Structure 1
């Protein structure tokens, strides 16, 4: 499987996962123009996208959805609560209502819904599997429930939210209401909680940790990288930013690199 972050941050999220000639998006939270521009930069052909899976109805996850899917006649997989919350009126044949724990097959991939805590109507994250490798996309996590822990235990690739630094949020300019919403257990994961979660539940199968959904106001790429760097000496670590797309990664390449590392350690 191949994957990347087309956009990641509190201003917009969109993640690409592909197997063979079939690809999906998780969320479409930047405008249609920038979805196309970033796909072009990566060499992604929009007609490869066979489905869009929506985690929840907040604007930074659906901003470009309507225009993009109507242009290419792409089905959208979304919970009833999330769809109601979007207030979008998509063509009926494009809307596929799923439960938060649904399992959907798209080409050679199975997409598992992961119910979670977040201040949305019926949110879920997703784990994407080709039967050999698993890619977990975990953003907008209010608190680390057992579902989230399970994904981390079984992930070969983990796209994990590291939204805010606790001190920056506490001393920042956000209102008390917004600060409380973010850190209430229904909002987002702090760097510290994300690190604790990662360290506690990661396994030896994990090959790549990509930190995602960074706050533009209460976090920095440098701080996140420094927080996690010393804990990721045996795996690939990257931080997705709001400013541009990441490169496209290939799980098989990571597997080869990991195998070589094991052999060199044994030698």
Structure 2
């Protein structure tokens, strides 16, 4: 399976997964122009996408959905609550309403919905599998519920939210209401909570940890790296950001991971054992 982050952060999220000719997106929270630019840098043909799966209706997950889906006539899989909350009016033939725990087959891929706690109408995360490898996209987690723990325990590749640093949030400029919304158990998880979930539930099968959905206001790549890197000596570790796409990774049936495509403007800047952090040369 191939996978990458096209965008990850509180201002926009989009993730690509593929098996052979079967390719999907999870969320499309940046505008279509930027999706197309980032795909082009990785050699992805937008017309090759077979389906788009939406986790929930917040703008940073659906901003580019309507234009992209209609331009390339790509079906959208979304829960009824998320579709209602999105206030989008999509062509009927492109919308497929699914329950939060749906299992949808897209060619060789099976996409499994994972219900979760988040302040949206009917949110879910997704695990994508080819029957041998599980790639899990777990962001916008109000808390580490049993579903989240179960997914971590059965992931070969895990993209996990690490949204905010507690001190930056507490001392930052956000309103008291917004701070409480973020840390209420229905918003997002902190760096510390993400680390606890990772350490308590990781299994030997986990080969690649990607931290994502970092807050632009209340987190930094440096803080996340410093916290997690000492615990990732035996796995590939990377941080997905809002500013650029990651490299395209591939994991084979033997659970070996390699980089198969590198965006022209991205350079690898830090390597610690098998720990890799990707940053921009721009």
For the aligned pair, the TM-score class normalised by the smaller chain equals over 0.9
SS of residue in 2 equivalent to 1:230? helix
- Give me the whole-angstrom Cα distance separating, in 1, the residues matched to 2:7 and 2:249: 15
- Give me the whole-angstrom Cα distance separating, in 1, the residues matched to 2:253 and 2:132: 14
Per the alignment, residue 180 of structure 1 pairs with: 180
**Residues 10-21 of structure 1: pairs in structure 2 closer than 5 A:** 10-21=10-21
User: Which structure: greater strand fraction?
Assistant: 2
CA contact (8 A) 2:2 2:248 kept: yes
Residue 22 of structure 1, CA deviation: 1.1
Is it true that 1:117 corresponds to 2:117 in the alignment?
yes
Is it true that 1:194 corresponds to 2:189 in the alignment?
no
Distance 1:22 1:104, change over 3 A: same
TM-score (norm 1): 0.95
Is it true that 1:171 corresponds to 2:166 in the alignment?
no
- Give me the whole-angstrom Cα distance separating, in 1, the residues matched to 2:97 and 2:252: 32
Deviations 1:194-221 (A, max 9, x none): 0000000010000000000000000000
Is it true that 1:68 corresponds to 2:68 in the alignment?
yes
Any runs of at least 4 consecutive aligned residues in structure 1 with deviations exceeding 4 A, and if so which? none
- Give me the whole-angstrom Cα distance separating, in 2, the residues matched to 1:68 and 1:209: 29
CA contact (8 A) 1:161 1:211 kept: yes
Residue 255 of structure 1, CA deviation: 2.4
Per the alignment, residue 223 of structure 2 pairs with: 223
Structure 1 gap segments, 5+ residues each: 259-267
Per the alignment, residue 48 of structure 1 pairs with: 48
- Give me the whole-angstrom Cα distance separating, in 2, the residues matched to 1:256 and 1:67: 36
Count of matched residue positions in the alignment of Structure 1 and Structure 2: 258
- Give me the whole-angstrom Cα distance separating, in 2, the residues matched to 1:253 and 1:211: 23
SS of residue in 1 equivalent to 2:252? helix
**Residues 127-166 of structure 1: pairs in structure 2 closer than 5 A:** 127-166=127-166
- Give me the whole-angstrom Cα distance separating, in 2, the residues matched to 1:68 and 1:104: 21
Residue 254 of structure 1, CA deviation: 8.0
Deviations 1:143-165 (A, max 9, x none): 01111111100000000000000
Aligned CA RMSD, in angstroms, stands at: 1.2
Per the alignment, residue 37 of structure 2 pairs with: 37
Is it true that 1:232 corresponds to 2:269 in the alignment?
no
Per the alignment, residue 3 of structure 1 pairs with: 3
- Give me the whole-angstrom Cα distance separating, in 2, the residues matched to 1:85 and 1:152: 28
Residue 252 of structure 1, CA deviation: 1.8
- Give me the whole-angstrom Cα distance separating, in 2, the residues matched to 1:67 and 1:223: 35
User: Which structure: greater helix fraction?
Assistant: 1
Residue 256 of structure 1, CA deviation: 3.2
SS of residue in 2 equivalent to 1:9? coil
CA contact (8 A) 1:30 1:60 kept: yes
- Give me the whole-angstrom Cα distance separating, in 1, the residues matched to 2:257 and 2:65: 36
- Give me the whole-angstrom Cα distance separating, in 2, the residues matched to 1:203 and 1:135: 14
**Residues 234-249 of structure 1: pairs in structure 2 closer than 5 A:** 234-249=234-249
Residue 257 of structure 1, CA deviation: 6.1
